[in-house]
Amino acid sequence: MAGYFKALLIALAFPALIQLFMGLAGLLQLRTWSAPWAEATRAASQAPLNLALVQAAAVGVIFVVAFPHRGHAGGLLESVHVRPLIGGVVVFCFLAGAFMQLPLAELGNLVQEVWPLSFEELARRHRLLNPTSWWAGMSILTALVIVAPLTEELLFRGWLLPDLNEQYGKVPALVWSSVLFGLVHVEPSAVLYATVGGLVLGAVALRTKSTLASIAMHAGVNALPLLLPASLLRVEGFNTLSQKVEHISGWLVLLALAGAAGALSIVWRATADQNG
């Protein structure tokens, strides 16, 4: 049980540090130390680049303070299982992630029927994913498609999943690391789809024996909202903004699931030699 508890503490440190650094960034942005913490956090979160810097700083602190460097042979990348992959495995992992975005988004929509987000929060996210300048676009791309997948995968699939796997085996490690990944997303609508997404990401990392695969897949999940804005193709329940909860077409969700399954089947066949 000690391993489970240690993983829990490490995982919970992640959102705690993000909130701490985000609040400090907001106070610096507002140029005052007397502003309410919630106001400072809200101010900082309006800038996508703050999200990237804060998340990178949080994971960096956790690795510096808690990662058992001496217990792992080789450099840091080998310690967190970032290993090269054959052929187009990374590309198909990215495609699988992009396809997975729609079913995961619909899962979030279903949860919102029970625990709805405020329209103000939905509008904030919609603005974030629909930048109006090249700088805002590059900032949100950096935050969501580069920094978030890299930091979260190094922490959850590069560190916690392998450590838990060594102690308890694949299934308990996969389930617990995925639950922790879901919990750090805090909001009910995000917790469920992040947990489900974590199961798939973890399975891919275990199959390929490389965190690079789950980083690519995570990047694909996060990239689709930026690659498919409503101005290009309007998809109800995905890239639209409404006062009520909208849902993605069931046929579109099934088509996306088929696409993800097809891409992952190629990844599974390409890595068959690695798994005997």
- Write down the pLDDT at residue 275: 72
User: What distance in Å separates the CA atoms of residue 136 and residue 158, rounded to the nearest whole number?
Assistant: 30
Q: Is 189 exposed, middle or buried (0-12, 13-18, 19+ CB in 10 A)?
A: buried
Task: Write the pLDDT tens digit of every residue in 128-179.
Answer: 888 888 888 899 999 999 999 999 999 999 999 999 999 999 999 999 999 9
What is d(CA 174, CA 151) in angstroms, rounded to the nearest whole number? 18
What integer pLDDT is reported at residue 182 of this predicted model?
A: 95
Cβ contacts of 196 within 8 Å, gap of 6 or more: 104, 107, 178, 182
pLDDT at 276 over 70: no
For position 72, what pLDDT does the model report? 66
What share of the chain in percent tops pLDDT 90? 71
CA angle 12, 164, 169 (to 5 degrees): 145
115/203: higher pLDDT: 203
Is 80 exceeded by the pLDDT of residue 185? Answer: yes
Which pLDDT score is estimated for 31? 86
* Total count of domains within the chain: 1
7-20 pLDDT per residue, tens: 999 999 999 999 99
Confidence of residue 86 (pLDDT cuts 50, 70, 90): confident
Condensed to tens digits (0 to 9), the pLDDT of residues 260-273 reads: 999 999 999 999 87
Q: Is residue 3 part of a domain?
A: no
- Segment 80-103 mean pLDDT: 94
In this structure, is residue 5 part of a structural domain? no
What average pLDDT does range 56-62 have in this prediction? 96
> What's the average model confidence in pLDDT over 194-214?
97
Whether pLDDT at 37 is above 80: yes
Q: Which two tokens stand for residue 73?
A: 């042979």
In a domain, 120, yes or no: yes
Domain span at residue 260?
83-275
C-alpha triplet 91, 95, 100: angle, nearest 5°: 145
Encode pLDDT of 219-237 as tens digits: 999 999 999 999 899 999 9
- Categorize the per-residue pLDDT at 110 as very low, low, confident or very high, splitting at 50, 70 and 90: very high
pLDDT at residue 71 greater than cutoff 70: no
Asked if residues 179 and 8 have their Cβ atoms less than 8 Å apart, the reply is no
Measured in residues, the chain has a length of 276
- Contacts (Cβ under 8 Å, ≥6 apart) of 94: 216, 217, 219, 220, 223
